[in-house]
Structure 1
């Protein structure tokens, strides 16, 4: 009912939050994004509103979902670039430059729910997510193709008093605040860290903001969390504590099962694994998937 560009304008706003970001990512000018998005809303009888800084649809949109499915099939058949979202660390480390045939999101959406929603709706075609919070193996719609596995560390700023301790137990961390994202953002990580007394100081953050994550650990007494991958881009201001957290993380390529065997996914995964290799060589704790 609408052409690829018109639906892309609306979905670009839902995915990337602003007309400016949608225009840059989709190679359209901002006025075109606005005009086409409004046209798409009129055609399908839907309405958008910003909720907590994110564009969302406010009306029933079954016909829009059907149209979106057709457009996604067209992208997989090569009639437009595929859309890739990533974490704040995998975007610069694994996705720069954007893999061939893909356009890249902002890499700043915090948590599973919105990323999975974008995948299920067909607005985004693949997401580089982080374990252990991945779709369950029995998920009927989505599957996770592993890329890597690695430990998660407690980290603090350079002047933190815990760095002066020759050994540590988790009980020693309890007097200090520990970063926590909104409840449900990463359920398995949240549960594991709460079991050892961490995840105590909530940070409201729907989009990644370094000042409110690593920045709080560097400048205050707050305990944070990091992997070898996230430490690669942290700027060197964080220091590991000598404690083994009861979780392992790692990157995975998440995609609809219907497209998991696509040549485009095989090529993307191979590109990501090749870009992981030199990082793993620097950090032997990173295990690359086979």
Structure 2
């Protein structure tokens, strides 16, 4: 076994990417983070290596995962802050200030799997996930608690040629490039937009970068996607096309099933819904979950 901060240094690098970010959240110096993660890796007979700017573990992690369960229970009991991931728009809108008893991550991981992996390994304790993508209802380990719903819009620059048309058909959309993340990053969104002939211009990024996403739409005729919350944060002056998509977006809190009834989770859900309620007058499209 290792102490709470020693394992936190190892898992913090996987979660937050740099020793500086880990040191800030754990209130340690960077040299302590480096030393403790090495001690932790040696204790479990594993190694931590960087692959494409992300830290990955090599070796048998069976004992490590058991240790993570124990440390998560310690966080739930209040011995250390719980760990919250979000999206780039819910981080400033719902996690500032951080909910009591929680620390928030960088909230820039792209795709379902990287975030779900953090939850499954109990490196993170909860994730504010954008809908419609979410874990399957029959997932044995994870569950999703709905927080709100809202329309998803197709976004373009203010002088986009499509805005000059009286009526926009699907065939008109298909004449323009539309943003697409790597295959499988957000499977449901990808499937639904491909049905419309969209999601056709790949953007390769494992961490969210504004200039590669909204920035593409802001400077050319590329079609992007967004809703009232993401638009409020991006600030790129994009405008929605006057067309209704056949599915909605929203937010849900994803967590381990065995944590669903923990008081800390109930308090977090209440806090997030309360903050969404405060945003509702500003964003009339926002519909709170029951």
Q: TM-score, normalised by structure 2?
A: 0.98
Q: Which residue does the alignment assign to 2:198?
A: 198
Q: Which residue does the alignment assign to 1:86?
A: 86
Q: Deviations over 1:143-176 (max 9, x none)?
A: 1111001111000012211111122011101121
Cα contact 1:156–1:224 (8 A) shared by 2: yes
- Could you list the runs of 5+ residues in structure 1 that have no partner in the other structure? none
Alpha-carbon distance between aligned partners in 1 of 2:69 and 2:216, rounded to the nearest angstrom: 42
Q: Following TM superposition, by how much is the alpha carbon of 1:236 offset from its aligned partner in structure 2, in angstroms?
A: 4.7
Q: Following TM superposition, by how much is the alpha carbon of 1:140 offset from its aligned partner in structure 2, in angstroms?
A: 1.2
Cα contact 2:148–2:252 (8 A) shared by 1: yes
Q: Which residue does the alignment assign to 2:178?
A: 178
Q: Which residue does the alignment assign to 1:33?
A: 33
Cα contact 2:218–2:236 (8 A) shared by 1: no
Cα contact 1:26–1:103 (8 A) shared by 2: no
Q: Which residue does the alignment assign to 2:230?
A: 230
Kindly report which structure 2 residues correspond to 1:85-104, keeping only aligned pairs within 5 A, or say none. Answer: 85-104=85-104
Please state whether the residue corresponding to 1:276 is helix, strand or coil: helix
Q: Following TM superposition, by how much is the alpha carbon of 1:237 offset from its aligned partner in structure 2, in angstroms?
A: 1.1
Q: What is the aligned length?
A: 290
Please state whether the residue corresponding to 2:183 is helix, strand or coil: coil
Q: Deviations over 1:257-278 (max 9, x none)?
A: 1111111111111111111113
Cα contact 1:135–1:144 (8 A) shared by 2: yes
Please state whether the residue corresponding to 1:278 is helix, strand or coil: helix
Alpha-carbon distance between aligned partners in 1 of 2:114 and 2:77, rounded to the nearest angstrom: 26
Q: Which residue does the alignment assign to 1:288?
A: 288
Query: Structure 1 residue 246 and structure 2 residue 233: aligned?
Result: no
Alpha-carbon distance between aligned partners in 1 of 2:76 and 2:116, rounded to the nearest angstrom: 19
Cα contact 1:153–1:227 (8 A) shared by 2: yes
Cα contact 1:193–1:246 (8 A) shared by 2: no
Please state whether the residue corresponding to 1:138 is helix, strand or coil: coil
Q: TM-score, normalised by structure 1?
A: 0.98
Query: Structure 1 residue 157 and structure 2 residue 185: aligned?
Result: no
Alpha-carbon distance between aligned partners in 2 of 1:50 and 1:235, rounded to the nearest angstrom: 33
Kindly report which structure 2 residues correspond to 1:1-290, keeping only aligned pairs within 5 A, or say none. Answer: 1-290=1-290
Q: Deviations over 1:43-79 (max 9, x none)?
A: 1110111122110112111111111111111111111
Cα contact 1:109–1:208 (8 A) shared by 2: yes
Alpha-carbon distance between aligned partners in 2 of 1:244 and 1:66, rounded to the nearest angstrom: 47
- Could you list the runs of 5+ residues in structure 2 that have no partner in the other structure? none
Runs of 4+ in 1 over 3 A off after TM superposition: none
Alpha-carbon distance between aligned partners in 2 of 1:116 and 1:251, rounded to the nearest angstrom: 15
Q: Following TM superposition, by how much is the alpha carbon of 1:282 offset from its aligned partner in structure 2, in angstroms?
A: 2.0
